[in-house]
Structure 1
């Protein structure tokens, strides 16, 4: 029986994908909501996170930002041109997008500086306990797991949820106005790119995974992919929890930690 998947519907509609992929998205929805509905984003939107939380956020996610091209490169090494339609699709997509991620690292540092966190603090400063969990997981799954697992954990789960929380912050006029006027556009560049309403990266990643797995993968394989997505969301939630926790400890006074 031919279980090959070829998308025929629109890229950004879930109904265009096999039933198992639709079930995967549904199974992970509650964990995803714990990320995109986290109070951290409201604190940032309302400029109430404070300097300790802001520093933990900028420095805590930096290892993921800095290493993201490496995660994709590790997945690229798993591909073999001509082995399968999924390999070919993944190879072309990863080669095209790896270089783009380097620019994103520069934009992140610009954002941090605009938010009052020195570049040296992001690069070399201590990181709040627990914020490394996401970076460690992305490294593990990209290095040691399958091509499908690596892509669904990073390019689908991490990029997808990031696009949603980025949009929440980018759409806040209060947050934008809190950044120095002379460098505001530069500071907002990372958010602008990730908050793009037509961002297709997570959907393209899902298409790659479905092309790799076909329309009827065995149940154990689907369960593993679900676990990979959930672990990415959990790592993001832990990081957000740590940033908010520091803000609670030090308190908030007029938008700055006391």
Structure 2
């Protein structure tokens, strides 16, 4: 049985977590930076992404937005109340937040419409080839891997990096003022909710992971969870790469004809 973990300070400070978790997060930082520092965000801020690129973004990420409650549901299926403190914490948190994620899908569609991309295009458009990497990975790790790995890969890694790039956009006056003032609040609701200073989900997820693994997990367990986190970041970077590719429809047509 692993030694039980309890926060030693504020939930949103990394020093409140075991040393193994601090080291793991530090080891993953470079991979995360490839997402946060991706040129996609600056292109969105300065308006150079264009209609095709904006469509790539809204349509390409939609499968992850739409399926995120399902990833959490797969994690919930692995919990058993009373088995461990980690199970109990994960179960309560997942039950509470799955319903919240459903609202986020509607907010994403509102953002897309505000950015000039029709709801029907997001729901039924052809996503850029390669953007399925993140959705497929989240589905696989949530369904087939351990509870700790699934939560680390989705609720910690994906939500955490998303919070940081969301804050970049939401803090940009140039980006925000591109939306008509009358509908701006509704259009940007998704960004507002996910901006890092408002979203504590990644920290809550990290607490769950640490509670599940304890203060002295095996080196193999830590390595595996870290690799799952890195794979999420890498999948996000691949998705961002594909979103900025300008000839989405032409690529799909050429690939279909090949």
TM beyond 0.5: yes
User: 1:173 offset after TM fit, Å?
Assistant: 1.2
Q: Take 1:55 and 1:168, find their aligned partners in 2: how far apart are those partners?
A: 19
User: 1:216 offset after TM fit, Å?
Assistant: 0.8
Deviations 1:40-70 (A, max 9, x none): 1111111211111100000000000000000
Name structure 1 gaps, 5 residues minimum. Answer: 251-258
Q: Take 2:31 and 2:20, find their aligned partners in 1: how far apart are those partners?
A: 18
Q: Take 1:176 and 1:48, find their aligned partners in 2: how far apart are those partners?
A: 15
Contact 1:49–1:247 (CA under 8 A) maintained in structure 2: no
Deviations 1:195-220 (A, max 9, x none): 15142110110000000000111111
Q: Take 1:190 and 1:213, find their aligned partners in 2: how far apart are those partners?
A: 32
Deviations 1:108-146 (A, max 9, x none): 000000101111111111010111100000000000111
Contact 2:2–2:216 (CA under 8 A) maintained in structure 1: no
What is the TM-score with the length of structure 2 in the denominator?
Answer: 0.94
Q: Take 1:54 and 1:180, find their aligned partners in 2: how far apart are those partners?
A: 17
Q: Take 1:40 and 1:24, find their aligned partners in 2: how far apart are those partners?
A: 27
Could you list the runs of 4 or more consecutive aligned residues of structure 1 that deviate by over 2 angstroms after TM superposition? none
CA RMSD of aligned residues (A): 1.5
Q: Which residue of 2 aligns with 1:49?
A: 49
Name structure 2 gaps, 5 residues minimum. Answer: 251-258
What is the TM-score with the length of structure 1 in the denominator?
Answer: 0.94
| 3-state SS of 1:192 partner | helix
Q: Which residue of 2 aligns with 1:128?
A: 128
Q: Which residue of 2 aligns with 1:222?
A: 222
| 3-state SS of 1:178 partner | coil
Q: Take 1:241 and 1:130, find their aligned partners in 2: how far apart are those partners?
A: 9
User: 1:247 offset after TM fit, Å?
Assistant: 7.4
Structure 1 window deviating more from structure 2 (179-188 vs 23-32): it is 179-188
Deviations 1:1-43 (A, max 9, x none): 8611111211011111111101110110100000001111111
Q: Which residue of 1 aligns with 2:191?
A: 191
Q: Take 1:175 and 1:29, find their aligned partners in 2: how far apart are those partners?
A: 26
Q: Which residue of 1 aligns with 2:64?
A: 64
Q: Which residue of 1 aligns with 2:22?
A: 22
